[in-house]
A and B are shown apart, each in its own frame.
Chain A
Amino acid sequence: MSTSDIVARCTGLFEDLNFVYAREWKAARPGRKVVGYMPFYVPRELIHAAGALPMGVLGGGDQLEVIHGDAYYQSYICRIPRSTVELGVTGRLDFVDGMLFPSICDVIRNLSGMWKIMFPKTMARYVDVPQNFRDDVGGEFYVNELNELRKDLGELCGRPVDDESLRHSIALYNENRRLVREVYAFRAAAPWKAPSSEVYLLMRAGMVLAVEEHSRMLGEYLEAALAENRPRRDNTRIVITGAFCEQPPLSLIKSVELAGCYIVDDDFMLVNRWEKANVPLEGDPIRNLACTYLHGSMSTSAKYEPDLSKKGLYLVDSVRRNRAEGVIFMAPSFCDPALLERPMLQNVLAAHGVPFIAFKYAENSGQMAPIREQAGTFADSIKLWSEA
């Protein structure tokens, strides 16, 4: 299969706001369940082990006309909750049996309660994660929370989640994350061979496809991308940060690339590679998930950094590891986590001599010209600077 075939498949999934794939998956066998989740992280292994399909819900993008959703939110609140409500109110999520709302910000947190009221037949759960990283404190709390979720999901799906199935699911997700990391590493090594607009769609496909199928797709993409010859440009290598929840329109990612940037790292869909290494398979699987969260997961604004001297270094590491020349702060308008974190990250970058620019977007932003111009000027100035 060529990259364009794979990308065409991903595009179809991305544009399908009726979630036909997930509907068909559910209809294929009686009793199957689908559990939706919002950014930035949920333990998808638990959903999988319960026999359900985990499905990422990332708002409505720029194709969904939001009519009802706006009636639930004031103008100064970001877009993703309103388009998500729109998806719900218009029946596009009527096949979803459960919805998980992670602890990312107060908007998603409150949406968990709204969902309970608006869609009482759907199991809606807020997923809390520890902000204390000691095994005997935050770890213990998270183990108990995960067990609670495991019980709820077992009840929803009509079968208890046993350790063996959970280990099996962890193994599948370990493999998936390995491949995701490989795609990211491949793009960072040869960004002209794996354009970000493609990698983005590939990762988005992981929000809806069954994990085995997504892993196969990642493998096929890697093989196809490696084999294809694509022209190499003298683009500037940049990292994108701040886009971990409401997603930018695809045209925005394309615009940044067209402006002369190679995106060598991003935080678009953290859930795909939240765990940085394999979750161990031996021992208590719940404890393993909890421990990996505490000690082996990525960093983002919604996760507290207890150590001031480490604050924001994850971004500097990403710049170094991926040989980036600059950072673009790309945040949804009105996004507390991204916008409150931004000045701290910028200070860390400045201290390490990493150039950056910042702009805001909405999932339905239409005007790309200013962004292309800003990103283009940024890319050019970095090039000029490095040649000087």
Chain B
Amino acid sequence: MTATATAAARPAPKTAAPREAIKEPSMVKQKEMIAGNYEKLATAKAMGRKVASTFVPGNLNELIMCFDLVNNLPEINAIQNGLRKKSGQLIVEAEKRGQSEDVCTYVKSDLGMLAKGNIGPDGRPIPSPDVLLLSYTGCFTFMKWFELLREQYKCETVMLHVPYEGEGKVTENMRAYIVKQLREDVIPTLERVSGVKFDIDRLREYLRESARAEEDLVWTLESAKHKPSPIDAYFGGVYYIGPIFTAFRGTPDATEYYRLLRQEVQQRLDAGQGPVTPEGELSKEKYRLVVEGPPNYTSFRDFWKMFYDEGAVVVASTYTKVGGTYDLGFRHDPDHPLESLAEYCLGCYTNRNLPGRIDMIEKYLNEYEADGLLVNSIKSCNSFSAGQLLMLREIERRTGKPAAFIETDLVDPRYFSPANVKNRLESYFQMVEQKRRGAGVAAAAAVH
């Protein structure tokens, strides 16, 4: 699931006369940041820098930076390869080498890339990691994924086990367990690998920076409560979470990115404008939706366009919470650095139990005044997908709003059927219309 696209990878339009994409300063900034990180990765070995690979949920970027490690996120590479339509062949390659057709396609895209020489999405080599930081947060596959990578790289691997919020709450035992692992295992390993001594004040500084960016991110996401919404919180949201979910949380660059983003969104709000999309601005907001589940990346733009064509805006999504649930109030806290990292990991969306996930969606539907829920169920991802049909029923029961279900995959083009998805969406919008008419009739009847 997890992960984010980036402005750098916004796919080129397919049509002969592409519409001029709107390039806002925040987009330019993000593009530079992403390119910068790939540059760091490509030159890491030459520059004598050590590389850590890790996951988006439970991503300890601030800690990684304390050891001057360059952060490589395999999920992001898979997404970037998906957006560039390269993931399909990588997945086939991994399957040829013994991976099952049934398992997560992020893993297979990554293993396929490795098998083919580890050339990154930008065409430059991805260095072998010096350490695999296995933040085992919210997904069983993570553990196997890094065991598979460890088998190839034979490098140091450190596990951070984040307990699941089975009872819908964080306990002292969970927090203490994570902090102890950080102290006793993760930090000493990173010190050993990097040769850099841990400095907790340095960590505090990064966390302070993170919290600043987090404020602006939350403001941006919540701007979708306005009508019309100035943002799309799913397709657009994927870009907005880019810096904070990846190698930039805790950097002044990220803070600057979110400051720029906030300014831009504020301007759109003031002007009463809708979201920016690759097709241009969405000027007439017809439907407001909440989306559960990750997007499809191999046909990302086509998928988005299906919404654009119908005037549908996603006002809240759960995917933008996989790398942290900041909108529920969490902020990294420099006064309690390790505890705060523990809280952060525990709160990531897929580490929350199913009833908690349903509560979040219900809250979004109400607070963002959405017309209904759309579930994009991802074949790859049991962490997200197992239980989504019950979630859908529960949401319909609790809110009375229509919900619909589509099935795609993250980065396996074989599981994106545009005709099916489009049909499903069209019938869903008809359902929303009917519901509205029904409500209108009921309201009229109440008046007469």
Contact = CB atoms under 8 A, between A and B. Distances in A.
Contact of B184 (A73, A134, A148): A134
A34 B176 CA distance: 33
A77 B180 contact: no
Given A106-B140, A118-B390, A343 B99 contact: yes
Given A117-B358, A126-B353, A110 B389 contact: no
B266 to A, nearest CB: 38
Given A116-B355, A117-B358, A301-B144, A335 B377 contact: no
Interface centre among A106, A145, A334 (most CB of B within 10 A): A106
A311 B143 CA distance: 13
Interface in A304-347: 304-306, 308, 311, 331, 333-337, 339-344, 346-347
A187 B9 CA distance: 58
Contact of B173 (A106, A148, A339, A342): A148
Given A109-B164, A304-B143, A335-B102, A74 B173 contact: no
A137 interface: yes
B166 A77 contact: no
Interface stretch (B206-214, B216-224, B379-387): B379-387
A125 B163 contact: no
Contact of B147 (A77, A104, A344, A360): A344
Contacts of A136: 180, 184
B: contact size bracket: 35 or more
A113 B387 contact: yes
A171 interface: no
B109 interface: no
Contacts of A118: 390
B157 interface: yes
Contacts of B353: 112-113, 116, 126
A114 interface: yes
A-side interface mostly = helix
Contacts of A113: 166, 353-357, 387
B141 interface: yes
A105 interface: yes
Contact of B140 (A76, A77, A116, A337): A337
Nearest to B357: A113
Contacts of A137: 177, 180-181, 184-185
A136 B219 CA distance: 41
B399 to A, nearest CB: 15
24 contacts: A103-B164, A109-B164, A109-B166, A110-B386, A113-B354, A116-B353, A117-B354, A128-B163, A131-B136, A131-B159, A131-B161, A132-B159, A132-B181, A132-B185, A137-B180, A140-B177, A148-B173, A304-B159, A304-B161, A336-B141, A340-B100, A340-B141, A340-B148, A360-B100
Interface of B: 97-100, 102-104, 107, 136, 139-141, 143-145, 147-148, 150-151, 154, 157, 159, 161, 163-164, 166-167, 171, 173-174, 176-177, 180-181, 184-185, 353-358, 377, 379, 382-383, 385-390, 394, 407
Given A112-B353, A132-B177, 10 more contacts: A74-B385, A110-B383, A112-B354, A117-B390, A132-B181, A304-B143, A304-B161, A339-B100, A340-B100, A342-B100
